[in-house]
Amino acid sequence: MMPVQLKEFLDKKVEEYNRPEFIKDDPVSIPHLFTKKQDIEIGGFFAAIFSWGNRATIINKSKELMARMDNSPHDFIKDHVAKDLKQLKGFKHRTFNEDDLYYFVESLQQLYSKNHSLEKAFFPAKNLTTEQGLIHFRNYFFSQEHLKRTEKHISSPLQKSTCKRLTMFLRWMVRKDNKGVDLGLWKNISPSELICPIDVHVARVAKKIGLLKREQVDWLAAVELTAALRQLDKNDPVKYDFALFNLGVIERF
């Protein structure tokens, strides 16, 4: 496609999928269960961390965890004592098990004891890039004693990971438009600075339509794709995640 035709095509797909009807079948439905800012953050964070595999399973496991936290995840995390952790015993989603969950809860408790928002763990200042924010978060999150195995659930660009689950979480937390899908709670980074979530489906579509040349699906591929998307919309490049993901997963483009 020519650049003008490509933009028109992708803008149309964004309009098609960036709407409230999209929410119920997507992990973004989990933060939408809540109205309190911290509950939205925590629900979204776990839904993003669980986001690999079947989307219905991701949503169901996320809802199960929220129920185990009495559907008030911020209060549970902030106020829990050791005996309350029995409510989480036996929780498992794929390779994420109860030991990982115990650490996540303890780390988040420490975080919220010092900060009003999870945003501070990613972007403590307004001059950080997404890459710097992801690196900062991983270092911050694992600053307490923990099992080595738990580290695999939080990636960063230093591991050459696409960081797909966390860049998706950042999209939810940072982007805000009048469509009602993304929540737009965080202000320390602009939507223009976000990195587009990328997986094998998105990469396949991006290569097919000429937005990505890199063969390896890694952090550099995410950066390359986002740079191409900024040519289409410099202020909101990651809105095209709606188009690319659904073209790849729903439409088998």
Which residues are within 8 A (CB) of 230 and not within 5 positions of it... i.e. 6 or more apart?
Answer: 192, 237
- Distance between CA atoms of residues 27 and 48, nearest Å: 7
Q: Are 216 and 209 in contact (CB under 8 A)?
A: no
- Distance between CA atoms of residues 70 and 73, nearest Å: 7
Q: What is the pLDDT of residue 1?
A: 64
Q: What is the pLDDT of residue 47?
A: 98
- Distance between CA atoms of residues 92 and 49, nearest Å: 12
Print burial letters for 194-208: b (CB count within 10 Å at least 16), e (below 16).
Answer: bbbbbbebbbbbbbe
List the one residue out of 147, 153, 191 whose CA is nearest residue 48: 153
Q: Are 205 and 248 in contact (CB under 8 A)?
A: yes
Residue 2 has pLDDT above 80, yes or no: no
List the one residue out of 103, 117, 120 whose CA is nearest residue 49: 103
Residue 130 has pLDDT above 80, yes or no: yes
- Distance between CA atoms of residues 24 and 71, nearest Å: 18
Q: What is the pLDDT of residues 109-118, one digit of tens each?
A: 999 999 999 9
> What is the residue whose two structure tokens read 């995840």?
73
Mean pLDDT of the chain: 96
Q: What is the pLDDT of residues 42-64, one digit of tens each?
A: 999 999 999 988 999 999 999 99
Confidence class of residue 4 from pLDDT cuts 50, 70 and 90? confident
- Distance between CA atoms of residues 195 and 232, nearest Å: 14
Beta bridge partners of 93: 96
Q: Which residue type is seen at 150? A: T
Region 128-150: mean pLDDT is 96
Q: What is the pLDDT of residues 72-126, one digit of tens each?
A: 999 999 999 999 999 999 999 999 999 999 999 999 999 999 999 999 999 999 8
Confidence class of residue 253 from pLDDT cuts 50, 70 and 90? confident
Q: What is the pLDDT of residue 201?
A: 95
Q: What is the pLDDT of residues 152-196, one digit of tens each?
A: 999 999 999 999 999 999 999 999 999 999 999 999 999 999 999
